Amino acid sequence: MNASVPVRRRTRARELALQFLYMLEVRGSDAFEELEAFLEHHTKGGELKGRDDVSAYAAELCRGVHQHRSEIDSWIEAIAENWRLSRMATVDRNVLRLATWELLHQSDVPYKVVINEAIEIAKRFSTAQSGAFANGILDRTWVLIERGRVSSGLAVPPPPNADEVLAVRRRSSADAGTTPAGPVAEVAPAPVPRPRPRPPQP
Amino acid letter for position 127:
T
* Residue range 107-113: mean pLDDT, rounded: 93
Q: pLDDT by residue (tens digit) across 6-17?
A: 558 999 999 999
Q: Can you say whether the dihedral through the CA atoms of 24, 29, 35, 41 is positive or negative?
A: negative
Q: pLDDT band for 191, please (50, 70, 90 cuts).
A: low
Q: pLDDT by residue (tens digit) across 35-60?
A: 999 999 999 876 767 889 999 999 99
**Alpha-helix residue ranges (DSSP H) falling in 126-193:** 128-152, 162-176
d(CA 146, CA 143): 5
**Domains, the chain, with CATH or none:** 1-67 (no CATH), 70-188 (1.10.940.10)
Given a contact cutoff of 8 angstroms between Cβ atoms, the answer to whether 30 and 95 are in contact is no
CA proximity to 188, closest of 127, 114, 120, 108:
127
CA proximity to 14, closest of 25, 4, 1:
1
Q: pLDDT band for 160, please (50, 70, 90 cuts).
A: very high
